[in-house]
Amino acid sequence: MFKDMMPSFELLMPSDLGNAVQLAKQQGEGGWILAGGNDSLDWFKDRNKRPVAIIDLAGIDSLKGIRETPDYLEIGALTTLTEIENNPVINEKYKLLADAAAKVASPQIRNTGTLGGNICQDTRCWYYRSGVDCYRAGGDTCYADTPEGMNREHCLFGADRCVAVSPSDTAPALVALDATMVVVNSEGEKTYKAEEFFVGPDVEITRMTVLKNGDILTAVRLPAAWAGATFYFEKVADRNSWDFPLVNVAAAMKLNGDIVEDIRIASSGIQCIPRRLTVVEEVVRGNPRNEDTAKLAGKSASRGATPLNFNHFKIPLLENLVTRAIRDA
Tens of pLDDT, residue by residue over 301-314, are 999 999 999 999 99
Q: What is the pLDDT of residue 4?
A: 63
Q: What is the pLDDT of residue 301?
A: 98
Q: What is the pLDDT of residue 286?
A: 98
Amino acid in position 132: V
For the segment 84-129, what is each residue's pLDDT rounded down to a tens digit?
999 999 999 999 999 999 999 999 999 999 999 999 999 999 999 9
CA gap 26, 21 in Å, rounded: 9
Tell me the CA end-to-end span of the chain in Å, nearest whole number.
49
Amino acid in position 269: G
Q: What is the pLDDT of residue 49?
A: 86
Count of alpha carbons within 13 angstroms of residue 312, beta-carbon side: 2
The H or E element that residue 262 is part of is strand 259-268
- Strands 72-76 and 275-276, bridge-based pairing: unpaired
Q: What is the pLDDT of residue 2?
A: 54
What residue spans of the chain are helical by DSSP H? 17-27, 38-45, 81-86, 88-93, 95-102, 107-112, 115-120, 126-129, 170-176, 194-197, 278-284, 291-301, 314-328
Q: What is the pLDDT of residue 289?
A: 97
For the segment 38-86, what is each residue's pLDDT rounded down to a tens digit?
999 888 887 788 999 999 999 999 999 999 999 999 999 999 999 999 9
The yes-or-no verdict on residue 1 having pLDDT over 80 is no
Q: What is the pLDDT of residue 41?
A: 86
Q: What is the pLDDT of residue 241?
A: 80
- What's the pLDDT band for 3 if we cut at 50, 70, 90? low
The yes-or-no verdict on residue 14 having pLDDT over 70 is yes
For 162, which DSSP code? B
Q: What is the pLDDT of residue 288?
A: 98
CA gap 222, 211 in Å, rounded: 20
All domains of the chain in start order, with CATH: 10-59 (3.30.43.10), 67-120+165-328 (3.30.465.10)
For the segment 249-292, what is each residue's pLDDT rounded down to a tens digit?
999 999 999 999 999 999 999 999 999 999 999 999 999 999 99
- The radius of gyration of the chain's CA atoms, rounded to the nearest angstrom, is 20
CA gap 55, 134 in Å, rounded: 27
Q: Are 276 and 179 in contact (CB under 8 A)?
A: no
For the segment 23-35, what is each residue's pLDDT rounded down to a tens digit?
999 999 999 999 9
Mean pLDDT estimate for the chain: 96
Q: What is the pLDDT of residue 237?
A: 97
CA gap 131, 166 in Å, rounded: 18
Q: What is the pLDDT of residue 42?
A: 85
Q: What is the pLDDT of residue 134?
A: 96
- Minimal CA–CA distance to 217: which of 170, 183, 190? 183
The yes-or-no verdict on residue 175 having pLDDT over 80 is yes
In sequence order, what are the beta bridge partners of 75? 66, 220
Q: What is the pLDDT of residue 44?
A: 87
Q: What is the pLDDT of residue 325?
A: 98
